[in-house]
Structure 1
Amino acid sequence: MKLFFISDIHGSIYYLNKAMEQCKKEEPDYIIILGDELYHGPRNPIPKEYNPEAVANLLNIYKDKIIAIRGNCDSEVDQMVLKYPIMSDYSMILYNGRRLFLTHGHIYNEENLPNISKGDVLIYGHIHVPVAKEQEGIFIINPGSITLPKENTPHCYAVLEEDIFRIKTLDGDTYKEISIA
């Protein structure tokens, strides 16, 4: 199974189009969205080609392949235009005998771990910085932000395939990777 991860779209159709170009090349089984789909939030600048309606329309095309969770900028009004559920604070996927705990990061993160076991994987967004590391037997992954990267990091997404997480730039180049085997 191949999974494609994006986070922190913040309503930019420009960067979502770039991410979805890579998604088509990657040919994943599922697309995981780690929150903050439509709204840019009061602490962020308005992103390039800010168009929440176009973002919703594009994402809705993939509704049957999307697993999404709520970010701190997502609300019930966003759920009204999206054709897949986004209002859960977290979701879990079983992958090759380990739990993938999916969350945005404003509640659960590497400083506030959820109740997961050694060998499991915490995957979150929110900080807009790519992370791929192991901490006390738990794997910590953050694909960064496709739209508003921070700390001089590139616009990124992530792919999980055959127990390897690859965080990639929107050009498809590997930025960071980690094996969870």
Structure 2
Amino acid sequence: MKIGLVSDSHGGTGALDLMLSRPEARGIKLWLFAGDVALDGEYLDMVTPENVEVIKVAGNNDWPGTSLPDYETLDVAGHTILLTHGHIFGVNFGRQKLAQAAQDVGADIAVYGHTHVAEYTEIAGITVLNPGSVSRPRDERAGSFMVLDLVPEKKPVVNLYRL
């Protein structure tokens, strides 16, 4: 299953439009929006086809005033994913708490945002992914998103794309 990962749009719906226009975004069946700004997650939900689900979590810039959860756990294509913005797990100071939270809920993949820096790493058997910021990156000049290909009982295939 092809899953899109996006975070930290901060009102940059134009960056979301550009992301969706990319060939790499075609065929995505599920988008995971890792927060900041909740209304952008709603926008993404509006502009994707009806058969494409968008799962959203709140970021630190979404409080107060959103009913989105701080994290979601979902089972997809034989994998369990913990989706969060990351601020509640202190990701600015390391990914250990996030990896532990993923282990605690039985997830093999953790997706987060918050740092605006793309990352793909393994911690204690957990695939830890940050798609970076689609509109305000801190690691490059161009925004980014990830595409995650999941097949049951196989290691996830992850690709990072710059706008």
What TM-score comes out, normalization by structure 1 length? 0.70
Unaligned runs of 5+ residues in structure 2 are 151-155
Superposed CA offset, 1:68-124 (max 9, x none):
0001111454x5xxxxxx610001121343321000010124142243338711110
Report the structure number with the largest CA radius of gyration: 1
Match of 1:87 among 46, 65, 68: 68
Structure with greater helix share of residues: 2
In structure 2, the CA distance between the partners of 1:23 and 1:104, relative to structure 1 (3 Å rule), is farther
Q: CA deviation at 1:155?
A: 1.2
Q: What CA RMSD, in Å, does the superposition of the two structures yield over aligned residues? A: 2.7
Tell which has more relative contact order, 1 or 2 (C-alpha 8 A, sep 6+).
Answer: 2
- Contact 1:145–1:157 (Cα < 8 Å) also in 2: yes
Q: Give the distance between the partners of 1:144 and 1:155, measured in 2 at CA.
A: 7
The count of residues paired between Structure 1 and Structure 2 equals 149
The runs of 4+ residues in structure 1 deviating greater than 2 Å are 22-26, 55-64, 95-98, 113-119, 151-154
In structure 2, the CA distance between the partners of 1:23 and 1:93, relative to structure 1 (3 Å rule), is farther
Q: Give the distance between the partners of 2:160 and 2:112, measured in 1 at CA.
A: 13
Between the two proteins, what is the percent identity of the paired residues? 28
Q: CA deviation at 1:58?
A: 5.5
Unaligned runs of 5+ residues in structure 1 are 40-51, 80-85, 171-181
Superposed CA offset, 1:136-176 (max 9, x none):
21111100000110133641101111420111112xxxxxx
